């Protein structure tokens, strides 16, 4: 059994519903969500749009192979209306990134774990702070808490919904 950390985001349509639907499908397909961050309103990172994102992070307990997790994540995104429009960033109904799988390191053309941009994105780090502030990044050998302190990203990231009670024990 592994702990899988996912980052979720949405900036199109009913963003709260998109996140909730993604969480339900994650539990159906991947495993039990054991920790869930608050929800953060965040400025778009890497492209310009008026539609702010809602972002969050979850930790789930799963037995799947990392490539099977990727396949399921992409299926969930597609079923929730995600379309990929070539290279670069764009608005989306849902985005699900595999951030960490325990201390696993994978560098493959189809899958890189840990996610290579975690340390540069406050919209990923702040939700991770809710669920795993002491987790040590396996490549950088630094905690999420310290990565957050060192992050140079100054885009707006504001918690708008508190951490839910489910599985937070």
> Which of 33-42, 83-92, 93-102, 134-143 is least confident?
83-92
The CATH superfamily label for domain 2-161 reads 7,8-Dihydro-6-hydroxymethylpterin-pyrophosphokinase HPPK (3.30.70.560)
CB-based contact 53:123 (threshold 8 Å) = yes
**Phi then psi dihedrals of residue 20, to 5 deg:** -60, -45
Domain boundaries along the sequence of the chain: 2-161
Residue with tokens 């909730």: 20
Q: Is the pLDDT at 169 greater than 50, yes or no?
A: no
Q: What is residue 167's predicted lDDT score, i.e. its pLDDT?
A: 43
In this predicted structure, what is the pLDDT of residue 8?
A: 97
- State the pTM of this model: 0.90
Which pLDDT value is given to residue 43?
Answer: 84
Model confidence pLDDT, tens digit, residues 43-98: 886 656 678 889 999 999 998 899 999 999 999 999 987 665 655 555 678 999 99
Q: Is 48 left (phi over 0), alpha (psi -120 to 50) or beta?
A: beta
142 SS3 class: coil
How many Å apart are CA 125 and CA 91, to the nearest integer? 20
Q: For residue 68, how many other CB atoms are within 10 A of its CB?
A: 13
């Amino acid at each position: 059994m592994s702990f899988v950390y996912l980052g979720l985001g949405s900036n199109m349509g009913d963003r709260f519903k998109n996140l909730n639907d993604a969480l339900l499908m994650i539990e159906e397909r991947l495993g039990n969500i054991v920790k869930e961050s608050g929800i953060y309103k965040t400025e778009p990172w890497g492209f310009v749009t008026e539609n702010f994102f809602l972002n969050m992070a979850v930790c789930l307990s799963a037995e799947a192979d990392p490539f099977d997790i990727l396949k399921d994540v992409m299926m969930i995104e597609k079923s929730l209306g995600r379309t990929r429009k070539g290279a670069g960033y764009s608005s989306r109904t849902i985005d699900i990134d595999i951030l960490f799988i325990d201390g696993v390191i994978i560098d493959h053309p189809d899958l890189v774990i840990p996610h290579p941009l975690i340390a540069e994105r406050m919209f990923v780090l702040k939700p991770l702070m809710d669920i795993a502030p002491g987790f040590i990044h396996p490549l950088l050998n630094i905690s999420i808490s310290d990565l957050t302190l060192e992050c140079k990203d100054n885009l707006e990231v504001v918690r708008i919904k508190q951490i839910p009670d489910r599985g937070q024990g």
